[in-house]
Amino acid sequence: MRDVVAVVYDGVGSFGLGVVSEVFGYDRSGDGLPSYDFAVVAVEPGPVRTDTGLVVLAEHGLERMATADLVCVLGWERTDVEPPEPLLQSLRDVVARGGRVMSHCSGAYVVAASGLLDGRTVATHWMHAAELARRFPAVTVDPDVLYVDDDPVFSSAGTAAGIDTCLYLLRLEHGAAVANEIARRMVVPPHREGGQAQFVTAAVPAVDDTSRLRSTLAWAQEHLDADLGVDQLAARALMSPRSFARHFRAATGSTPHAWLLGQRVARAQLLLETTDLPVDEVARRSGLGAATTLRHHFSLRLGTSPQAYRRTFRGLAASA
């Protein structure tokens, strides 16, 4: 994925445009991160007014989509208006030649109108889900997820879910390290809990850099294979177990046990992506003990097995 296009039209969602521009349009190649040939296109090139009144300049027409590896279809607020057929045909052409299409929020209306979602599952903003399902009965609308991967069509729910989807695409293309580094630079979590299994690593909670809690969590991340519990972490933070649990939930919104489990699954993901270690050894080094425990938590959290996860991401991470 090297060539990315964002499609705009009058009333396009300005937040969605900002998201895809930040992820795919910002040149980070000087830091060893991927860069993209990014372009903004419209049916008719020229100034386009967004949903918030901002005016952006679309320098390219639909012909620019002919080379795109990924086309981002942004929010389409005029859901009672049929999208222009030249745009719909251009989207069909992208997929026909092996490219991908991603919709953001109500942009799912445009992709559905093209027919590319027939027989597929799509995510969209919960406010639009019922109407989208009514208008396009051949499409399965899932209103409870942040995004859906139905390759070659990807779709995201409203607003910030576009960030989740873009980071997911980065991970598919370049591996966990790249996606996590770009998330860190954007000051967003590389993972948010949602109804859909997401192959994204959990980050250290954003607590005060000088606090004993943060240093304790950083230490715990380096000792995930040890027998860790609230008592051990509380002692490390010089707190009582009850006080530690209270401070932990206030800072992270989670329990110490849930955080530890998430970190251990994340460590297992990284080991599966970047090493050829047997699954038993991955389970031991990540602190999950046995392969059966690892398989249980992968099935529960990610909806897949460690072996299937490795097949999906091992080659991607190695090449990245």
- Do residues 179 and 219 both lie within one domain? no
pLDDT at position 176: 80
What is the rounded CA–CA span in Å between residue 277 and residue 125? 41
**Position of tokens 């425990």?**
293
> Tokens for 278?
């047997």
Q: Are residues 180 and 283 in the same domain?
A: no
Cα gap 30→28, rounded to integer Å? 5
Look up the domain containing 101 and give its range: 3-186
In a domain, 199, yes or no: no
166/21 same-domain check: yes
User: CATH number for the domain including 316?
Assistant: 1.10.10.60
Whether residue 193 lies inside any domain: the answer is no
In a domain, 293, yes or no: yes
Local confidence pLDDT in tens for the 320 residues of the chain: 999 999 999 999 999 999 999 999 999 999 999 999 999 999 999 999 999 999 999 999 999 999 999 999 999 988 889 999 999 999 999 999 999 999 999 999 999 999 999 999 999 988 898 899 999 999 999 887 889 999 999 999 988 899 999 999 998 898 888 888 998 899 887 656 443 333 333 344 444 444 678 888 889 988 999 988 899 999 999 999 999 988 888 777 678 888 899 889 989 988 998 889 999 999 999 999 999 999 999 988 777 889 988 887 765 544 44
27 and 164 belong to one structural domain: yes
Please indicate, yes or no, if residue 307 is contained in any of the structural domains: yes
Q: For 27-44, give one letter per residue: b (16+ CB within 10 A) or e.
A: eeeeeebbebebbbbbbe
Last residue of a domain, one of 186, 219, 253: 186
CATH number, domain containing residue 97: 3.40.50.880
**What angle, rounded to 10 degrees, do the helices at 176-186 and 306-319 form?**
80
Does one domain contain both 129 and 80? Answer: yes
Of how many residues is the chain composed?
320
pTM: 0.65
Nearest to 65 by CA among 85, 39, 103: 39
Residue 192 lies in a domain: no
Same domain, 77 and 141: yes
Q: What is the secondary structure of 73-109 as a DSSP string?
A: E-----TTSPPPHHHHHHHHHHHHTT-EEEEEGGGHH
Residues 147, 32 share a domain: yes
Q: Are residues 151 and 209 in the same domain?
A: no
CA distance 97 to 171: 23
Would 195 be classed as within a structural domain? no
Question: Same domain, yes or no, for 170 and 255?
Answer: no
Whether 146 and 209 share a structural domain:
no
**Same domain for 96 and 222?**
no
**Number of structural domains found in the chain:** 2
CA 253/CA 136 separation, integer angstroms: 38
Last residue within a domain, chosen from 186, 218, 234: 186
The predicted structure's pLDDT at residue 198 = 36
Whether residue 194 is contained in a domain is answered as no
**Helices 306-319 and 256-274, axial angle in degrees (round to 10):** 60
Query: Is the residue at 254 inside a domain?
Result: yes
**Six token digits for residue 114:** 């093209």
Is the same domain home to 157 and 280?
Answer: no
